[in-house]
Amino acid sequence: MGDVLRIGSRGSRLALIQSEWVRDELVRLHPGLQVEIEVIQTKGDKLLDAPLAKIGDKGLFTKELEAAMLKGRTDMAVHSAKDMPTAVPDGLAIVAFTAREDVRDVFVSGPGGRPAGVDAIAQGAVVGTSSLRRRSQLLALRPDIRLVDIRGNVQTRLRKLEEEDLAGTILAAAGLARLQQPELAAFAFSFEQMLPAVGQGSLAIEARAGDTRVESLVLPLVHEPSSLALRAERALMHRLEGGCQVPIAAHALVSQVPDDLGEEQLRLQAFVGSLDGTDTLRGELIGPAQAPEGLGIALAEDLLGRGADRILASVRG
């Protein structure tokens, strides 16, 4: 009988699919390894009636999973990287970011029709989302649209489209792909229309700091281009003091075209906006891929110098 590795996971269908993928990869990579998944409910899973912005976002979907690791109940946790706060608790570390799926946001239509693009959404349509980031960017494009809060896992939100007769909702393409329901997307937003959440499309594997056993087991799951991109995005978010429930979006990508010295480049785009989408800022920087945090901080400073601090202060107020 081999070692037993215990993974902590949220209980939603998507969270379990993600944790099962990690489990299956680890078993494939390390024959004889036994991996068990322990379902742990988080605060964000329990408080489904209040908008996320009202109940705070620091560790909303991670805190209980992290407590289980610190107590020795589990050895690691699998998170959607976009749910991970930029500050990791003492005693824990992110040991892997996996290869990103499609990072775009997609529009999933309700029973009233299937628009082919953002301009084709009906005038004055009612769209459901609890994300302030999506709200700000959608209203910047279509100020006529009326937004209502809907919370819950993907299945719950899809059910609410019918129950509340909504024109649609916005979801991550990666989540639908993992649920094997990509056909639900009526259309994908371009990056010019809507930048994704920091870390969207990647999984973050968290473990106790210094646990070399877990680090060595998950090392083959580390995807270096995705890791560089997420490090830049998370540094930007950290400098802006943002979280899941602040209208900040970012996307970084390692360029396939090296600079004159043959070094890989990283292109980072970011967005900060007011809740009603009337006051928005965008920025972009390109820099050495091997210095992702510096690039993230530099773009954050550029945005702050152009008024991002004023926009974010109004949101927090």
d(CA 238, CA 236): 5
Contact 297, 236 (CB under 8 A): yes
d(CA 276, CA 273): 8
Residue 46 has which token pair?
């329990």
d(CA 222, CA 210): 17
Active site residue 302: no
Whole-angstrom CA distances from 42 to 51, 157, 184 are 15, 18, 27
Residue 34 has φ and ψ, to the nearest 5°, of: -100, 130
Contact 111, 168 (CB under 8 A): no
Contact 163, 204 (CB under 8 A): no
Instruction: Transcribe 50-115 into DSSP letters.
Output: S-HHHH--TTTTTHHHHHHHHTTS-SEEEEEGGGS-SSPPTTEEEEEEPPP----EEEEE-TT---
Annotated active-site residue in 83, 105, 259, 260: 83
Residues contacting 20, CB < 8 A, separation 6+? 37
Residues contacting 25, CB < 8 A, separation 6+? 220, 221
Residues contacting 29, CB < 8 A, separation 6+? 217, 220
Q: Annotated active-site positions, please?
A: 83
